[in-house]
Amino acid sequence: MSGHVSPSPASASEGNRLMMTLGIVAKHAVIVLILALFLLPLAWLLLTAFKPYSELFTTPPTVLPVNGTLVNFSEGWAIGGGKGIGDSLIVSSISTALCLILGFPAAYALARRFPPHGQMSFTILSLRMLPPIVPVIGFYILFQELSLFDTYTGLVIVYTFMNLPLVIWLLAEFIRQIPKTYEEAARIDGAPWYRLFWDVLLPLSAPGILTAGILAMIFAWNEFLFALVLTGEKVITLPKALASFFLFQQPNWGQLGAIGIVAITPLLIVSYYMQRSLIRSFSVELGGR
């Protein structure tokens, strides 16, 4: 009897295993499909960056560059890419630093002195919900009057204004998760406020600060509308520089690809290394409800 019974569960489990394998294959196929959808433009950008101009329009088109070249990078850099990257770096890093310096104390006060998810929290975040097109006209007139038009200072101010609410909100949510006992312990241990901040609060909120900083940086790095309206010829950030490649003639897609690759590489690297702490701080916010 047992001789008859034993093979059937075995074959059943084999069947199960087959189904499971098929399931995994299907799942991965879907993931690959979605990834391909997202990565294809990026791959095209990357490959184009290394093709000489003459190779861009050949029929049949080449997938991999046949005559690989770096000339797009040097040319793209020379016709405005370098200036764009430099200006973007200046404006976005200074505005990010300002956001964090101004945002942290505000976030701390919000986290410790105001009820969570109260009116104050909402009011601050709601500033971020404003469509950028709404304040941009006001800023334009204001900046003309204050001689801030087409200056680094002006753009830094705008990006700080734009990102501060989000930074405050993210940091406040993060600080709320830090038990007050750490601060009380530091007070008991005799730490004055600046040491409490430096020795205890700052290291404990580092992941939150990093997340908020990266987001502020990315937003400032990618911002186009304010840069377009509020700057002229002196300050040309990267998105504006890339757009200007289209202005006069048929754009050189190779140069566009090269500068585009240079523009996103730092963000990719940072996001890759930060993904764990990014996800963690976001799940803190969502899980904290």
Site for another protein in 181-200 (CB under 8 A): 181-182, 184-191, 195, 199-200
What sections of the chain are H helices per DSSP?
2-5, 7-49, 53-56, 71-76, 82-113, 119-126, 133-145, 152-176, 180-188, 193-195, 202-222, 225-230, 238-244, 253-287
In three-state secondary structure terms, 121 is helix
Residue 112 binds another protein, judged by CB under 8 A: no
Nearer to another protein, 204 or 229 (CB): 204
Q: 217 with 89: CB under 8 angstroms?
A: no
Site for another protein in 57-76 (CB under 8 A): none
Nearer to another protein, 152 or 182 (CB): 182
Nearer to another protein, 24 or 206 (CB): 206
Site string for another protein, 113-152 (x = CB under 8 A): ----------------------------------------
Distance separating alpha carbons of residues 288 and 207, to the nearest angstrom: 16
Closest contact distance (angstroms) between CB of 115 and another protein is 12
Closest contact distance (angstroms) between CB of 206 and another protein is 8
Closest contact distance (angstroms) between CB of 181 and another protein is 5
In three-state secondary structure terms, 81 is helix
Closest contact distance (angstroms) between CB of 283 and another protein is 18
Residue 179 binds another protein, judged by CB under 8 A: yes
**From 41-49, 72-80, 177-185, 239-247, span contacting another protein (CB under 8 A):** 177-185
Q: 240 with 84: CB under 8 angstroms?
A: yes
Amino acid making up residue 255: Q
**From 49-57, 149-157, 179-187, 271-279, span contacting another protein (CB under 8 A):** 179-187
Residue 204 binds another protein, judged by CB under 8 A: yes
In three-state secondary structure terms, 131 is coil
Nearer to another protein, 102 or 204 (CB): 204
**Cα 217-223-225 angle, rounded to 5 deg:** 160
Nearer to another protein, 122 or 193 (CB): 193
Distance separating alpha carbons of residues 174 and 171, to the nearest angstrom: 5
Q: 240 with 156: CB under 8 angstroms?
A: no
Peptide bond preceding 60 in cis form (omega within 30 of 0) = yes
* Total residues interacting with another protein, rule: CB under 8 A: 16
Closest contact distance (angstroms) between CB of 188 and another protein is 5
Closest contact distance (angstroms) between CB of 280 and another protein is 14
| Dihedral pair phi/psi, residue 234, rounded to 5° | -85, -45
Given the rule CB under 8 A, which residues bind another protein? 179, 181-182, 184-191, 195, 199-200, 203-204
